[in-house]
Amino acid sequence: MTLPPAEHTAELPGAIPPPGCPAHVATGPGGATRLYGGAAETDPMGLYEELRAKHGPVAPVLLDGDVRAWLVLGYLENRDVASRPTQFSRDPRVWHGWRSGEIDPATSPLVPMIGWRPDCVCADGEEHQRLRGAVTAGLSQFDHRGIRRHITRFAHQVIDTFCEDGEAELVGQFTEHVPMLTLTHLLGMSDEAGPRLVHAARDLFKATETSLASNAYVLESLAQLVDAKRVRPGQDIASALMAHPANLSDEEVQHHLRLILLAGYETTANLMSNVLRMVVTDPRFRGSLAGGQMTLPEAVEQVLWDEPPLMVCPGRWANGDTTLGGQQIKAGDMLLLGLAAGNVDEAIRPDPSTPVHHNRAHLSFSAGTHECPGQDIGRIIADTGIDILLTRLPDIALSIPEEDLTWRSSTWARHLTALPVSFAARAPQDFDVPSPLPAPPAPSVGTPAAPPWQSAEPEPAPEPERRPEPRPSWRTRLRRLLRLR
Ligand code: HEM
């Protein structure tokens, strides 16, 4: 999954428009409800309930450009669609909209989400097994304790960059960094690549003028990684993809590296932000954690039920005419998995306020043959990173009124834009890592020169005839990199 490019995303305050407000439910041609703009961005959960009340478990909706699709709202119907790949294909080329001219592939912001790419997301059957086999082999080579060690190191380093300040903005300074540092490490890149890629990935999703340059930067980083690993393979995902008997082409390797990086980063960062927001805004949630009634993995699972990082997952395409949830689906129709709606379907959760401890049957990682293969890694990054943050800064408190929190929203996901907190300033711990950032000038794997929009501070070159400047500590270098914006 690659999250939206956000050309049509909006930054919105937490406030929900009052019922009756024209922004609340927008309808398009044929009276179908728009799943973009208006209520889809300000109150998506409310909109799903209105659709459920009107249409039942499967509702006709319109995507950006008034492109028609079916939104699956029922829990069982979501599982059904995700688990029957012969009836509901994952290959977007099945969609009739490409042929009917319903979409302009050159300009539609939907293309990054529903366009075909040579990766496992867009494949069915044996081709899917071939590509996914290589991905799962790459992900499962790491033992969980080893991954935890790396996350621990990265989380401490990142906290050390702001713990003396007594305040931090946790989305920009923490939740967006720990997953990227971990994923770039697992992919086989140098630790130095992580902070720069955070900025490129954030920029890419925001569809600013520099998004194309950022996308090019991500691709260039991955191309360099592949070249380097061909010469000197290691125990990392890039090397595993290249060596796998599925015999992936260079293009397939690069597409899967990009898929793992972007799919794993954005979702995990979003999950961490949502858990931390609950910690600083909901005294009951925090009290259960502090009092031991709820463990951190249980808290993460609760948030996965209530606020899936990906609320709507594109897409499946009907291989033939069929009936689903009482609706007549035609061959080639597009279906969207309503993961957030399915998670609160009263057929399985009559009272959504009842805690779901120990229950992992939510749809947030989808289901069936395409179910997220990185879910354990996502969970470990979230649990470990948040655990370290709360252990080191147990007194964090939201430093703005809760109603001033804002989100960046789209059809597919909702991202908290900032989580400003304060806490008692503390000294860094200088977590015991001799040199996490490799010394220049040797080119480091997977880190091309900073893209033009980044004002990277170059390492000071020693002047001739003078004693070289002492090399800044790893913490100073990480601080500098994290502050590149
Ligand atoms: C909390 C974090 C995460 C969430 C909520 C999440 C969610 C999802 C969802 C909903 C899908 C779509 C499945 C479908 O189309 O039915 C997916 C697919 C995928 N995810 Fe994740 N994901 C997360 C973390 C990760 C991580 C950390 C990685 C890699 C390390 C990863 C790698 C992938 C891949 C490769 C696919 C495509 C699988 C396929 O099509 O066979 N994800 N994920």
> Tell me, what amino acid is at 390?
L
Both tokens assigned to 201: 């990935």
CA distance 337 to 344: 13
- The minimum-distance atom of ligand 1 relative to the CA of 368 is 16
| Contact residues for 457 (Cβ-Cβ < 8 A; gap 6+) | 480
Interval between CA 267 and ligand 1 midpoint (Å): 8
Nearest CA owner, ligand 1 atom 1 = 268
State the pLDDT at residue 19.
44
How far is residue 128 from each of residues 136, 334, 434, measured CA to CA in Å?
A: 12, 19, 42
- Give the pLDDT of residue 237: 97
- Ligand 1 atom 21 nearest Cα: 372
Across 105-119, 246-260, 348-362, which has the greatest mean pLDDT? 246-260
Nearest CA owner, ligand 1 atom 43: 372
Q: Which are the contacts of 405, defined by CB distance < 8 A and separation ≥ 6?
A: 13, 14, 277, 281, 416, 417, 418, 419
| pLDDT per position as a tens digit, 271-297 | 999 999 999 999 999 999 999 999 999
CA–centroid distance, 268 to ligand 1, in Å, is 10
Ramachandran category for residue 430: left, alpha or beta (phi over 0 → left; psi -120 to 50 → alpha): left
Query: Which of 187, 317, 372, 376 for mutating ligand 1's site (highest number of atoms within 8 Å of CB)?
Result: 372
Q: 182: closest CA among 419, 436, 361, 406?
A: 436
| Banded model confidence at residue 269, pLDDT cuts 50, 70, 90 | very high
**In contact, 190 and 481? CB cutoff 8 Å:** no
Summarised one tens digit per residue, pLDDT across range 26-58 is 777 777 899 999 999 999 999 999 999 999 999
- The model's confidence at residue 309, banded by pLDDT at 50, 70 and 90, is very high
Report the b/e string of 97-124 with b at 16+ CB within 10 A.
bbeeebbeeeebbbebbbbebbbbbbbb
Task: Return the residue whose CA atom lies nearest to atom 29 of ligand 1.
Answer: 374
Ligand 1 atom, smallest distance to 367 CA: 16
Residues with Cβ within 6 A of ligand 1?
Answer: 1, 82, 120-121, 132, 135, 139, 259-260, 263-264, 267-268, 271, 309-310, 313, 364-366, 370, 372-375, 377-378
Strand partners, 176: none
Lowest mean pLDDT among 122-136, 283-297, 470-484: 470-484
**Cis status of the peptide bond prior to 441, with omega within 30 of 0:** yes
| Helix and strand element counts for the chain (H, E) | 18, 14
Lookup: tokens for 483: 């502050």
In 3-state terms the chain splits into helix, strand, coil percentages (rounded to 5) of 45, 10, 45
Residue 202's pLDDT is 74
pLDDT at position 430: 74
Amino acid occupying residue 203: D
- Residue 144: per-residue pLDDT: 93
Angstrom distances, CA of residue 189 to CA of 213, 217, 234, 408, 444: 20, 14, 10, 29, 8
Judged by DSSP in three states, 259 sits in: helix
Q: How far is the CA of 373 from the centre of ligand 1 (A)?
A: 6
- DSSP character at residue 27: B
Please list the alpha-helical segments (H only) found in 141-177: 144-160, 170
Residue 227 confidence (pLDDT) above 60: yes
Look up the pTM and report it: 0.88
Query: Tens of pLDDT along 421-476?
Result: 999 999 998 765 543 333 333 334 445 665 444 443 333 333 434 444 555 565 66
The residue whose CA has the least distance to atom 3 of ligand 1 is 267
Domains plus CATH for the chain?
10-482 (1.10.630.10)
The rounded Å distance from CA 475 to ligand 1 centre is: 32
Q: Residue 315 Cα, ligand 1 centroid: separation in angstroms?
A: 13
| pLDDT given for residue 471 in this prediction | 54
Query: Which tens digits make up the pLDDT trace of 375-428?
Result: 999 999 999 999 999 999 999 999 999 999 999 888 999 999 999 999 999 999
Query: Residue 373 in contact with residue 136, Cβ under 8 Å?
Result: yes
Query: Measured between alpha carbons, how far is residue 89 from residues 86, 282, 459 in Å?
Result: 6, 41, 50
- For residue 272, the CA-to-ligand 1 centroid distance in Å is 15
In the three-class reduction of DSSP (H, G, I as helix; E, B as strand; rest coil), residue 319 is classed as coil
Q: Which residue has the tokens 């002047």?
A: 463
Give mean pLDDT, residues 64-91: 97
Closest protein CA for atom 11 of ligand 1: 372
Question: What is residue 228's predicted lDDT score, i.e. its pLDDT?
Answer: 93
- pLDDT > 90 in the chain, percent: 69
Lowest-confidence range among 71-80, 92-101, 349-358?
349-358
Provide the 10 A C-beta neighbour count for residue 270. 25
pLDDT at 236 over 90: yes
Atom of ligand 1 nearest to the CA of 377: 27
Can you tell me which atom of ligand 1 is nearest the CA of 121? 40
| From 102-116, 313-327, 360-374, 465-479, the region with the lowest mean pLDDT | 465-479
CB 431 within 8 A of CB 157: yes
How many A from CA of 426 to the centre of ligand 1?
36
CA of 361 to the centre of ligand 1 (A): 16
Report CA(233)–ligand 1 centroid distance (Å): 25
As a whole number, mean pLDDT of residues 67-96 equals 97
